[in-house]
Chains A and B, each alone.
Chain A
């Protein structure tokens, strides 16, 4: 709503009429107790809800619950066995993401303003809800008193907000201020409340036991720094917002968001030990060579008057790329050759005046620098010593697998959808076969297949880490579903759009890239978000093939620790809350995107 009002001059779509504001007593009468039947339903439903809440709270706060199992093991949940001495790398990565988040919030003008009247309402409902819950929960007397005081505090806050709202209807609070305030108060508790004592760890072998203390003790300083980083980045973003061209800044930020996880995982968390000689005399010259030669070739190939010769050159480069597999050669050269071939093939679509051609060449330069750097980093052995193949686990593993699956499956899904709706029978047949085959097989089968069977099909001596092969399989699986979502979007683009694009003389690829896909992708946002959330949640199936993901840690690792045998229920409840928080924030974010692109209004 604020979005529409703030952009003055743009025709505003009439907002739906507001419900008249009723005093609580009349609201209750109108909505809950309007007649005998409604009254009955209200009473019955409240009884059911209250007894459910009673049961859940009785479970969660029962005296036999070992919530310490969750608090003490927060390290396992987050990063699994990542060595403690290297934790600064994790904090650095986290800070990088927070800086991006702060900048994005400022540059996309995130956050809304909440009028005090609404704040008062929320504070009242939370206060009343908390009071009822505390009353239902089987807490000790002192605990009950403490929590009831907290509920009273909320009610008092509601009262104060109400007074402010009564004085001035227009006064409001930024939702970001509220967010930072909440985070700050949570972090402040770390300084006073010793969550998760791990004093039970035996001291028989002193070398393997970290210093006694609490989880809160070792993390309060970093968390405080993180808060300042977030706020600082936000203000930096506000400063930058007014000085830089908006569109360019946004696309650069988007690029950072896409690159940073890969950068952080392979360069920061993994800490490759570069051999300077090799980097200086082999890798850098190679990348530079491809950068210069490739840019020149692409600049030449994007010349509009070139015609068929361009395609022949592109095919020759591609052939050289694939042919290079016949002779022994560094893998990086093969990949660069194939990439150059593909860029050259796509060149006619991006032909135009000099600045367009220059931009295409610079995209190539950016690609080659980033790809070259990453490939070099990945080939360098890591210096972080961790047990097993993986240096991450827990929530990190879950998020990383979900991220790469989504990143890989979206482009693949778009291509599959285009192939399936194209009028060329071979591509249509291939895409349909792939999609129907993959959709006919359960995800577990695919995961097991890629973790157990894939190594048998690989060439002699080649071994993929299990997590990589599983991610590839999951991405292929996910792509089939993404393709069907996007096909729905493609089919909703009207015939007139196709004809109009053809009428202005666009080629098929230009029509697809510039006219059809943007509309189709916009239409498929809701199903795609649903699919992304599903992808994240289904990573819990990694449990079955024995990877230490969030669920495995919560269900098998912690309940078997000598101090916490049988604490499965607590840990499962915690894991489900964690999944819910992540999924709910994703769906909230998607609702904002939908509002922004005006879905459902046109």
Chain B
């Protein structure tokens, strides 16, 4: 009997060790239920406000910063810089929202998310806004408890091959007969190319890899003839490769539609409007040629420019719950659509001219409803 007691004691000390060292987190959580910390209190008020018709907008204003979900590995869209901050096209749109709501483009808490975590982060309220190269699709919009904002970047899947193999910019899916194609495993990219070749009755050999680096390595080593993914990623890779003249990207019209834009929690139209119109403001400013360096010259202008910059009492913005000069701050601190696009995407070889992301007036798809 006494032996049993002692061994019981030994075994219970497992629990002691576990509770002493593991308590940090277990205790953390349990005690929040017992004695709510400030953070817990904050979330409860959020829930209360939301149920009473309040908006995420009030929560963000009270918190003083926007929690923005970004990626860590999307070249030129959202990457982590050497000093730990986020940068890129998507990261800049997080700053746009912060400038509009809080008047300070730096009031953003960037939360790097993997592609599998991103939707949970929106649904659980971990992020107020997701800017993570997320394609707007019907199923995501309807199923997942979140809404999509206006598309900020029109991407599409394209293919990349060697000129020496007889490919050119005018090549088509039909030219893929008998080739080996390398793609990332389990992505929509894989599904798209399979669908496209099936439709045209073209025979291809598909090789799938877990990481995108492996895909490019096998393409460079010649293990496959063609590689395919979103056009923006292909251009980024090609720009960095030393044999830049040897590869070509085709077809000119992408084989899939990948509209990328902001994602926010469902059924919060106040917050949704803020995000949508902040994005539109960058587009409208671009249409008038107002950018961060010359915005102060436009302050006296009447009409839509006045309504955009809030000089005409800023009625449109104050109705939304924003400061009158919200969009002035956006343009002053971050810039218009072209500023954001050119500074982030030109370095990797993506240009607006002639692409789907050109202004609507030049035959592109970037278009904003009028401000009035």
Which A residues lie at the B interface, using CB under 8 A? 64, 72-73, 75-76, 80-84, 198, 201-202, 204-205, 207-210, 262, 266, 311, 318, 328-332, 335, 338-339, 341-342, 345-346, 349, 371, 374-375, 378-381, 385, 387-388, 404, 407-408, 411-412, 415, 418-419, 422, 424, 427, 461-465, 468-469, 472, 507-509, 546, 548, 555-557, 559-562, 565-566, 568
Contact = CB atoms under 8 A, between A and B. Distances in A.
A374 B333 CA distance: 43
Contacts of A555: 213
Interface in B324-348: 333-335, 339, 343-344, 347-348
A328 B34 contact: yes
B241 A338 contact: no
Interface of B: 2-35, 37-39, 72-76, 79-88, 92, 95, 105-106, 109-112, 114, 116-117, 213, 216, 236-237, 239-242, 292, 333-335, 339, 343-344, 347-348
Given A404-B21, A560-B79, 20 more contacts: A76-B82, A80-B84, A81-B84, A84-B84, A202-B343, A330-B34, A330-B35, A335-B20, A335-B23, A378-B28, A407-B21, A408-B22, A415-B14, A419-B11, A424-B7, A464-B26, A507-B6, A508-B6, A559-B213, A566-B216
Contacts of A330: 31, 34-35
A427 B17 contact: no
10 contacts: A76-B80, A205-B92, A208-B106, A329-B34, A331-B34, A339-B16, A381-B37, A387-B109, A556-B72, A562-B348
Nearest to B17: A411
Contacts of A565: 75, 236-237, 239-240, 348
Contact of B9 (A345, A378, A556, A566): A345
Task: Output the residue of B9, B72, B116, B335 with the most chain A CB within 10 A.
Answer: B9
A338 B82 contact: no
B77 to A, nearest CB: 9
Contact of A201 (B14, B80, B82): B82
B13 to A, nearest CB: 5
A452 to B, nearest CB: 9
Contacts of B240: 565-566
B81 A561 contact: yes
Nearest to A325: B30
Contacts of B72: 548, 556-557, 560
A73 B216 CA distance: 23
B39 to A, nearest CB: 6
B70 to A, nearest CB: 9
A318 B22 contact: no
Contacts of A378: 23-25, 27-28
Contacts of B112: 387-388, 548
Given A424-B4, A508-B3, A557-B80, A472 B22 contact: yes
A37 to B, nearest CB: 39
A509 B8 CA distance: 12
Nearest to B27: A331
Nearest to A408: B21
A50 to B, nearest CB: 26
A339 B20 contact: yes
B2 to A, nearest CB: 8
Nearest to A349: B6
A468 B30 contact: no
Contacts of B29: 461-464
Nearest to A465: B25
Given A318-B12, A381-B39, A566-B237, A75 B83 contact: yes
A381 B15 CA distance: 26
Nearest to A64: B242
B89 to A, nearest CB: 10
A202 B347 CA distance: 11
A204 B106 contact: no
A210 B10 CA distance: 54
A461 B37 CA distance: 14
A102 B105 CA distance: 46
Contact of A381 (B38, B92, B117, B344): B38
Contact of B16 (A328, A338, A375, A556): A338
Contact of A562 (B75, B216, B241): B75
Contacts of B21: 262, 404, 407-408
A509 B6 contact: yes
A530 B236 CA distance: 43
Given A338-B19, A339-B20, A204 B236 contact: no
Contacts of A205: 92, 95, 105, 333-334
Contacts of A385: 109
B159 to A, nearest CB: 19
A418 B25 CA distance: 29
Contacts of B39: 381
Nearest to B88: A562
The 4 closest A-B pairs by CB, nearest first: A81-B84, A345-B9, A546-B114, A468-B25
Nearest to A414: B10
Nearest to B9: A345
Given A338-B16, A339-B20, A408-B17, A208 B85 contact: yes
A82 B26 CA distance: 24
Nearest to B84: A81
A200 B174 CA distance: 43
Nearest to A476: B18
Nearest to B20: A371
B9 A427 contact: no
Given A76-B84, A204-B335, A379 B111 contact: no
B189 to A, nearest CB: 17
Nearest to A472: B22
Contacts of B106: 207-208
Contacts of B23: 331, 335, 371, 374-375, 378
A347 B2 CA distance: 13
Nearest to A572: B213
Given A331-B31, A419-B7, A461-B33, A82 B82 contact: no
B37 A379 contact: yes
Contact of A566 (B31, B80, B241, B339): B241
A421 B112 CA distance: 47
A515 to B, nearest CB: 15
B318 to A, nearest CB: 26
B5 A345 contact: yes
B120 to A, nearest CB: 10
Contacts of B31: 330-332, 379
Contacts of B27: 331-332, 335, 375, 378-379
A463 B124 CA distance: 12
A462 B28 CA distance: 9
Contacts of A72: 82
Max chain A Cβ within 10 angstroms of own Cβ: one of B29, B35, B38, B81 = B81
A81 B80 contact: yes
B132 to A, nearest CB: 13
A387 B14 contact: no
Given A464-B25, A565-B236, A387 B110 contact: yes
